[in-house]
Each structure stands twice: as structure tokens, then as C-alpha cells.
Amino acid sequence: MSVLIYQIANFVLAALMYTLLGRLALTLLLGASHPGFMLRAFARLTDPALWLVRLITPSLVPQGLLLIFAVTWTMIARVLLAVGFAASGALSGAV
């Protein structure tokens, strides 16, 4: 059961990370104020995550770099999730 919880949490974090990367790529290619549907969809999906990252990240970080910090925090969360589950022995039965 703990492997299933780990897999679901890892999947959610991975989906968030790749969605943030998609928004970052579209923002770099099209610009932040582009009226396209895909960029607006990525923005709506990732705005709650960026709000949480803004709470964690120091206020010295400009708004433009916040997406990069969000991707970095998500990667760190995935690594800490794996280390935490492995250290607790919850992943010892997984093959």
C-alpha cells in the first residue's frame, strides 16, 4: 500500500513539474502576455503552485524567475519524497 501512495504522490509531482516546464517553455517562446489558449491553460493549471512557491521563495526573487524556482522546488520535493519513503523502509518491497 505504501508503494502505491509513493507512486501516486510521485506522479502528481511529476505532472506538476512537467506542466511548469511547459509553461516556462511557452513563456520563453511566446512571451508572457501572449493571448493564446495553451499559455492561458498552462497558466491556470500552474498559478496555484506558483502562489505556494511565492510563499516559500524569498521576496528578492523577481516574478520572471519564479517559474524556474517552482520547477526547482518540485524537483527537490520529488527527491525528498523518494528519500523519505526509502529511508522509512516503505519502498523495500518494491521491485
40-87 pLDDT, tens digit per residue, is: 999 999 999 999 999 988 889 888 899 999 999 999 999 999 999 999
Q: Is 73 part of any domain?
A: yes
DSSP 89: T
Domain count, the chain: 1
Half-sphere exposure of 42 (CA within 13 A, CB side): 21
Cell numbers linked to 39: 499559455
Q: What is the pLDDT of residues 51-64, one digit of tens each?
A: 999 998 888 988 88
Domain extent, residue 65, equals 2-87
Write down the pLDDT at residue 2: 85
- What pTM did the predictor assign? 0.87
Q: Is 49 part of any domain?
A: yes
Q: Is 95 part of any domain?
A: no
Collect all residues with Cβ–Cβ distance below 8 Å to 71 and sequence separation of at least 6: 17, 20, 21, 24
Q: Is 94 part of any domain?
A: no
Q: Is 12 part of any domain?
A: yes
